[in-house]
Amino acid sequence: MTDPGEHRPRTPAESSTADGSWLTEVAHAAGREAGGVPVELLGDYLTLLADAATTGRKPHPSELAAVGLLGRRAAELGVSASSAVQLYLCAARRLWGELPMVIRSRDSAAVRAAADAVLHVVDAAVASLAEGYTEARRQKVRWEETLRREFIDDLLRGDADVGRLVERAEPFGLDVGRQHQVALAAPTGRLDDAEAAISALERAVVHRVGDRDVLVATKDGWIVVVAPADADLPSPPGPPAAPAKLGDFMLDELNRSPRGRPWRVTVGRPYPGAYGIPRSYEEAREAMTMAVRLHLDTPVIHAEQLLIYRVLLRDQPAITDLVQSVLGALDQARGGAAPLLRTLDTYFATGGVTTETARRLHLSVRAVTYRLDRIRTLTDNDPTDPAQRFTIHAAVLGAKLLGWPDHDLASPR
């Protein structure tokens, strides 16, 4: 009796079983179906599938490790993870459909065993592929983060080679020839999740300003924002007003987060060029340090607001001598110099209004008047006399900078 399969046309897989060229055809077809993914990423994967279908052999750990390297290669080539996985699944489906009829014609138990073996290889190979891909992506992210951190450190330090710095700035979308200003933000409370606050602020800044010429990072526990000086920031809600400044915009966005509040923001002045960014950063950093030392309550502080303090600190021996000469006698008062110094500071902050000074200090007007008289008696300087007010006010500012009376004037600050 004639075998009915004797006159059936042979499939491509059957005609090329001996030389294995059908696996090459399967690979190219899978690559096209996956969107043009390079077939080199399959490696020996199809051979592992064919062996599993014909002999039931499970892949060796070294073979799976080779698939993991192919996953890393896919990440290096810029192939998406979904495309790489699709390539492997398409290849498995096509291989199963093109298996030689000698395998497909077995009894049902044999076919199930072959299918189980193939699915085991698919499962193990795809898992190894994904693991290699993920590890390569993690390494790339760590490497890029290292480059970003080193670039920001060199940019803010200001002592790097300018030509090289310009080249390194280009991938970050930063034109160092443009005018930039630097702002710092620091939580005055506890910040448990710094990354969440940074991510939220970065999204807000990039959304409003764009991803060009903007950097958001951390340094020394502070959030650092480098932005173009002419950035078009949205006005605060309410009646029409002038466009928001960088510091006000940052504070508004940071206050949306339930963590870290209240925040303090300091902003350096805008400067052009590669050396302008570190100069602005230094001003913002100095303003942050002064704000902490002076216990300033203002949430947003611009560098120009603290210029008087910078002038005072340029000649520390002179300001020390001024504090000692003008206010040193306050140490003789009952309770020490601190209450009287606080009274002077508040008195000058209110513009010399005794009633407002009393309200802020939670004292009676009579008590404030008594303290001012006591200061005049001890120091022989009258804070209510316009001719002497400037000298006494400068001495009060100097005392705050030097941390007096909490710290000895003889100790360097």
| Each residue's pLDDT tens digit, 123-136 | 999 999 999 999 99
Q: Report how far residue 369's alpha carbon sits from residue 354's, in angstroms, rounded to the nearest whole number.
A: 7
Give the angle 209-291-150 at the CA atoms, nearest 5°.
50
Structure-token pair, residue 188:
């005055």
What is the reported pLDDT for 346? Answer: 93
Residue type at position 120: H
What is the reported pLDDT for 130? Answer: 95
What is the reported pLDDT for 380? Answer: 92
For the segment(s) 181-308, the CATH number from 3.30.70, 1.10.3470, 2.60.40, 1.10.10 is 3.30.70
Is there a contact between 69 and 132 (Cβ–Cβ < 8 Å)? yes
Is there a contact between 405 and 338 (Cβ–Cβ < 8 Å)? yes
Residue 16 has pLDDT above 50, yes or no: no
What is the reported pLDDT for 193? Answer: 63
Bridge partners of 226? 182, 215
The residue that leads in pLDDT, 178 or 1, is: 178
What is the reported pLDDT for 72? Answer: 94
Lowest-confidence pick of 147-151, 307-311, 330-334:
307-311
Residue 313 has pLDDT above 60, yes or no: yes
Lowest-confidence pick of 9-13, 19-23, 229-233, 270-274:
9-13
In this structure, the number of other CB atoms found within 10 A of the CB of residue 371 comes to 22
Which whole-number Å values give the CA distances from 112 to 47, 106, 119, 306, 380, in the listed order? Answer: 19, 10, 10, 80, 105
Per residue in 266-287, pLDDT (tens digit) is 999 999 988 899 999 999 999 9
Lowest-confidence pick of 16-25, 142-151, 197-206, 287-296:
16-25
Is there a contact between 225 and 205 (Cβ–Cβ < 8 Å)? yes
Average pLDDT over all residues of the chain: 84
What is the reported pLDDT for 12? Answer: 41
Q: Which residues contact 63 (CB under 8 A, 6 or more apart)?
A: 44, 48
Residue 44 has pLDDT above 80, yes or no: yes
What is the reported pLDDT for 315? Answer: 84
Q: What is the mean pLDDT of residues 142-154?
A: 88
Q: What is the mean pLDDT of residues 224-249?
A: 67
Q: Report how far residue 64's alpha carbon sits from residue 126's, in angstroms, rounded to the nearest whole number.
A: 9
Range among 95-99, 102-106, 130-134, 257-261 with highest mean pLDDT value? 130-134
Lowest-confidence pick of 68-82, 149-163, 188-202:
188-202
Long-range (24+ apart) CB contacts under 8 A made by 111-115 are 113/56, 114/52, 114/53, 114/54, 114/56
pLDDT band at 412 (very low <50, low <70, confident <90, very high): low
pLDDT band at 360 (very low <50, low <70, confident <90, very high): very high
Q: Which CATH architecture has domain 315-402?
A: Orthogonal Bundle (1.10)
Residue type at position 78: G
What is the reported pLDDT for 170? Answer: 83
Edge-to-edge strand order for the sheet containing 215-219? 215-219, 222-228, 180-187, 263-267, 300-302
Is there a contact between 246 and 300 (Cβ–Cβ < 8 Å)? no
Q: What is the mean pLDDT of residues 40-58?
A: 91
What is the reported pLDDT for 148? Answer: 85
Q: What is the mean pLDDT of residues 89-118?
A: 79
Q: What is the distance, to the nearest Å, from the Cα of residue 399 to the centroid of all Cα atoms in its chain? A: 37
The residue that leads in pLDDT, 12 or 324, is: 324
Residue 325 has pLDDT above 50, yes or no: yes
What is the reported pLDDT for 410? Answer: 65
Q: What is the mean pLDDT of residues 167-196?
A: 81
